Amino acid sequence: MAHWTHLLAAALAHDINNLALSLSSAQRLIRPGAGVDFDGAEWAAFVEGDVDRLRKLGVRLRALAAAGDIHSSTRLDDACADALTEVDPAGAHVRRADSPRGDSHVRGTADAVRAAITSLLEHAVAASPTGAPIELAVREAPGGPVIVEIAAPEASATGLIDRARLDTLLDTALRDRRGDLSLVLAGAVADTLGGAVYFALDSKRGLVLELQLVAYLSRTSRTASASLDGK
């Protein structure tokens, strides 16, 4: 987690500074005597947008704080459904590309797992033209990680050539940008839960974001598995 600390601090500073500059600039424009005509409704909408960004930031940070509880488990289909609802409530262009499994559980609290998935979905949406299709799918290999895969065929992703870990990517290609906060939060949560985030460009599927999570076995399941192995 130490590696992610400086990435998170840099991304937070960048995002908060942008919000502060945005609000302070608008404040100067609406002061009496500024000589700028403005619509009160437009100003209210502008402020509401920045407040919503701050609210989401708080939600993500609380989820990151809760990610340290690695003894919790989350039903992955529920976390995916919640993330899809938050990012695309109307179901207009983000869809589940596979059939929900129903019984896959992963390590981590529901808030932490949902935050990681939501953050990656938001990045895919932001990198894609408005209304472009985005797909989410879950796959699981026996004995391996549970993978949440997000494909954005029309997303722009400069600087990505081969499959790479997110932490490496942020240290190189995105260093000058200080990283995208949604990506850093997803990576930090995944890292805390023993997982990872990978990026790739595919000739047919476009930008592919891969969130690897640790499959969770309850004490009962571990006991049953051990009993079977002992036979």
Task: Express each pLDDT in 117-127 by its tens digit.
Answer: 998 998 888 88
The one-character DSSP state at 108 is S
CATH fourth-level superfamily of 2-219:
Histidine kinase-like ATPase, C-terminal domain (3.30.565.10)
Tokens of 173: 């290609």
What would the mean pLDDT of 219-231 be, rounded to a whole number? Answer: 41
Q: What is the mean pLDDT of residues 125-139?
A: 89
| Whether the model pTM is above 0.95 | no
- The C-alpha atoms of residue 21 and residue 26 are separated, in whole angstroms, by 9
Q: Is the pLDDT of residue 222 over 50?
A: no
Domain spans, the chain: 2-219
The amino acid at residue 2 is A
CA distance 213 to 224: 22
Q: What percent of the chain has pLDDT over 70?
A: 65
Give me the residue label for tokens 């990505």.
160
